[in-house]
Amino acid sequence: MRSYFSVLALLALSTVSLAQAGGQPRSVITAPINESQRVVLSGNTTPAALEPAYDRGPVADTLYYDHLLLVLKRSPESEARLIKLIDEMHDTHSPNFHHWLTPQQLGEQFGAVPQDRAILENWLQSHGFTINRVYNNGLLVDFAGTAAQIRETLHTEIHNLVLPNGEHHIANMSDPEIPAALAPAVEGVATLHDFGPRPRLIQRGPVSYNSATNNWQPHFNIAFQGQTFHVVAPYDFNTIYNVLPLWKRGFTGKGVTIALVEVSNLLHTSDWHSFRKTFGLDNFKAGNFKQIYPNCTNPKQNGAEDEAALDVEWASVAAPDANIELSACGNSHGVSGLDLAILNLLDLEPPDIISDSYGLCETITGQTEVALENREAQIATALGTTFFIAQGDTGADECSPVEGFLSYLGINSGDNTASAYAVDVGGTDFMAQYNQDVNNVPVSKYWRAKNNPRTKASARSYIPEIPWNDGCTSELVYTDPILSGGTYTQSWGASGFCDTKLGKSAFFKYSVSGSGGPSTCFTGKPSIPGVVSGTCKGNAKPSYQTGVPGIPDDGERDQPDLSLFAANGLWGSFLVECMSDKNEGGASCTADNDALLEGGGGTSFASPAMAGIQALIDQKNGRQGNANYVYYALAANQFATQGASACNASQTNGALPASSCVFNDVQLGDMDIPCGQGSHTNAYDCFGNGTKIIGELSTSTSSSQPAYPATVGYDLATGLGSVNATNLFDAWPAASN
């Protein structure tokens, strides 16, 4: 077998000069395979595997991984050529503008060469693995095998783990190793553990609409008794973000396909139709909804149905005539169903737009999975697909649990959102209640007293926005005397709001906030498990992320790109969905004037909602690839022509941004979250905390520097801000060729 590998390697060597001369991929495997000469695929052991107390011993040798992904590398020359081509695809002056590739063309021009793939496939098969498929993009091999084969081939054991909260997992206990000869062609194996991405939503519970009073009635208490809630229904959203004028002009998403990638399907597909009927969208007949399982196993319902329901419903809120696809695959031991849903969809029938509402953080996910997620978004971009990703719901620590614990791992970036090829959508809240509490601007300026019986909407106009932040560390929370119950000048320490009984209550204590921040560990390996340290290095700042005041001069991929409303009720507003599967925590979803739905928030709502707005642009202009090239260019022009004050979306006198603004620039508030040691030895990037005292996540541990405030222009709390959909549509550059 080794002699066969040697022949293949020599064959690869003979083609190198030809590949370089023609600008085609070249072979990078240039030496015979020697199993005793190995390299470590560093940064691919999840932190939980390094905790001896969690270890419950090896799994059975026969444990079968039905999907493992061997992620391949391009040659440096091929990678540089593709990056250059993608830039040209988004340059209106280039002959390559919007000349998208097919999956087959991508593989032929930029994938690993057939000789290298043959060597790798034969190497896997020589160790007993089965090859499931090789993707058209030429950079992924799906294979299957047992835990014993993994141990023998990759030199790491798979163990059972039990976490303190009772969760059961399996994971590799050390970084895998491969023969050194293969290293130039191999990024790694995704993945050998089952710590998958988490949905970006915060459930609150059922909410009903009372037809007698034309008002909403939450069945749960959010903050204080007697608070009036203004639920954001679809027509509210489309009023606030100025979508309705585009509908009148005939732009409703007709002919555009939006795919929502999921790990669960809907038991009752009628929920999508009920949602539309309940909120007055059923007059739009051109679009359709279907569930697909692209070359994969139907996951059925598995605890993630709530996420799937809100994604497909909110994707059609701004684009009611778009075609909505729920693309779902089942999880395997080694590969998230999300990865399979994305990769198979792109390989078979790439949609116009993808929205992904799941994620984790770079230091827990592992380097190969981070690289795979970046590759997924890059593939989508090269095919012309716009890839939206929910930024996250836990502030600047995207490793932080949403409920039950304080942040203690420090500032951590999202794994998939760190890609330069995805549009990251963060979360805002409305400022109306704050302005009424502090500045005597009545909420009635923005909301009618009763809802429209047909659409259930009551919004009058755009509503001033702030970053979504429920935590006791939010400056707007602790300085609002009504919400905080007193007058506080700081959140942290013994005299801060977080250390009061109210600040420590269930509502304010947890890390619930829109997310953002620079990429922190896109490559490298933490020296402290889960903490940005060691050789960690963030992803480089993409070429389009420039020209807007406020963009940090940090050389890093900064997140999010823009934001939409994603709050879950602290300041009086939240979102609704229809999910009637009671086995998954749903409520009976009725499409009449007494609708009973689920209420909540999260950037899971914001990402598909922005995908719907983009669908209106695509209806006129066709597929757009990475929309960030245009978003940042339009934002730069806005600040150059209108200045910093005209588009201020957070004015304390209640005024609105100028009617000509494309982006509503959120300039007040922050997304800082509470942190502390709790039962842990240390709390990183945490200022003002003690063993029992809550601190604030800070870029400094010697002074209060909250991570992160909203500022003029771009900021790490809300990116470019939210959008005026009609102005965005009208400012979009027309194709010139």
List the structure tokens of 605. 């709502």
Domain ranges of the chain: 2-193, 199-442+449-454+462-471+510-672+707-731
What is the share, in percent, of the chain residues with pLDDT greater than 90? 82
- pLDDT bin (cut points 50, 70, 90) of residue 240 is very high
Average pLDDT of the chain to the nearest whole number:
92
Q: Is the dihedral of CA 335, 340, 343, 347 positive or negative?
A: positive
Helix (H) or strand (E) holding 356: strand 353-356
What is the share, in percent, of the chain residues with pLDDT greater than 70? 94
DSSP class of residue 365 equals H
**Could you give the 3-state DSSP secondary structure of residue 314?**
helix
Cα–Cα distance, 129 to 107 (Å, whole number):
23
List the structure tokens of 659. 């009617």
Are 154 and 144 in contact by the 8 Å Cβ rule? The answer is no
Residue 1, CA distances (Å) to 35, 125, 162, 535 in order: 12, 11, 41, 37
Cα–Cα distance, 67 to 194 (Å, whole number):
12
Cα–Cα distance, 368 to 189 (Å, whole number):
6
Angle at the Cα of 367 from the Cα atoms of 9 and 420, rounded to 5 degrees: 100
Distance of CA 408 to the CA centre of its chain: 21
- pLDDT bin (cut points 50, 70, 90) of residue 8 is very low
pLDDT for 4 equals 33
pLDDT for 584 equals 86
Contacting residues for 418 by C-beta, under 8 A, at least 6 apart: 362, 370, 374, 519, 522, 538, 539, 557, 559
- pLDDT bin (cut points 50, 70, 90) of residue 737 is very low
The CATH number given to 199-442+449-454+462-471+510-672+707-731 is 3.40.50.200
- pLDDT bin (cut points 50, 70, 90) of residue 401 is confident
CA-wise closest residue to 474 among 435, 517, 512: 512
Contacting residues for 84 by C-beta, under 8 A, at least 6 apart: none
Contacting residues for 390 by C-beta, under 8 A, at least 6 apart: 200, 355, 356, 357, 358, 359, 425, 602, 603, 604, 606, 607
Lowest mean pLDDT among 177-191, 228-242, 328-342, 578-592: 578-592
Contacting residues for 119 by C-beta, under 8 A, at least 6 apart: 5, 8, 9, 12, 29, 33, 182, 185
Q: DSSP 3-state helix, strand, coil percentages of the chain (rounded to 5)? A: 30, 20, 50
Predicted confidence (pLDDT) per residue in 43-89, tens digit: 999 999 999 999 999 999 999 999 999 999 998 999 999 999 999 99
Task: Tell whether the model's pLDDT for residue 364 goes beyond 50.
Answer: yes
Cα–Cα distance, 639 to 659 (Å, whole number):
14
Helix (H) or strand (E) holding 426: strand 423-430
pLDDT for 595 equals 67
Q: Stretch 86-93: mean pLDDT, rounded?
A: 97
The alpha carbon torsion through 313, 314, 320, 326 (nearest 10 deg) reads -50
Lowest mean pLDDT among 66-75, 459-468, 499-508: 499-508
DSSP class of residue 186 equals E
Amino acid 674 reads P
List the structure tokens of 736. 């010139």
pLDDT for 568 equals 92
Predicted confidence (pLDDT) per residue in 373-394, tens digit: 999 999 999 999 999 999 999 9
- pLDDT bin (cut points 50, 70, 90) of residue 23 is low
Cα–Cα distance, 697 to 558 (Å, whole number):
18
**Could you give the 3-state DSSP secondary structure of residue 154?**
helix
Q: Stretch 145-163: mean pLDDT, rounded?
A: 97
- Encode 594-614: b = buried (16+ Cβ within 10 Å), e = exposed: ebbbbbbbbbbbbbbbbbbbb
pLDDT for 402 equals 56
Q: Stretch 519-544: mean pLDDT, rounded?
A: 96
The alpha carbon torsion through 177, 180, 185, 188 (nearest 10 deg) reads 10
In order, the DSSP letters of 202-241 are: EEEEEEEEETTTTEEEESS--SSTT-----B-HHHHHHHT
Are 606 and 355 in contact by the 8 Å Cβ rule? The answer is no
**Could you give the 3-state DSSP secondary structure of residue 711?**
coil
Residue 272 backbone dihedrals phi, psi, to 5 degrees: -60, -45
Cα–Cα distance, 550 to 229 (Å, whole number):
34
Q: Which residue, chain included where needed, has tokens 């998403």?
A: 253
Task: Tell whether the model's pLDDT for residue 307 goes beyond 90.
Answer: yes
Q: Stretch 280-309: mean pLDDT, rounded?
A: 95
pLDDT for 217 equals 76
Cα–Cα distance, 540 to 522 (Å, whole number):
9
Strands in 686-687's sheet, in edge-to-edge order, are: 674-675, 695-697, 686-687
Residue 135, CA distances (Å) to 69, 107, 132, 344 in order: 10, 8, 10, 8
pLDDT for 404 equals 54
Contacting residues for 262 by C-beta, under 8 A, at least 6 apart: 299, 304, 307, 308, 311, 326, 327, 328, 337, 338, 341
- pLDDT bin (cut points 50, 70, 90) of residue 369 is very high
In order, the DSSP letters of 492-530 are: SSTTSGGGSTTTTSTTTSS--B---EE---SBS--SBTT
Are 236 and 227 in contact by the 8 Å Cβ rule? The answer is no
Angle at the Cα of 724 from the Cα atoms of 721 and 725, rounded to 5 degrees: 120
pLDDT for 112 equals 94
Are 313 and 578 in contact by the 8 Å Cβ rule? The answer is yes
Predicted confidence (pLDDT) per residue in 256-274, tens digit: 999 999 999 999 999 999 9
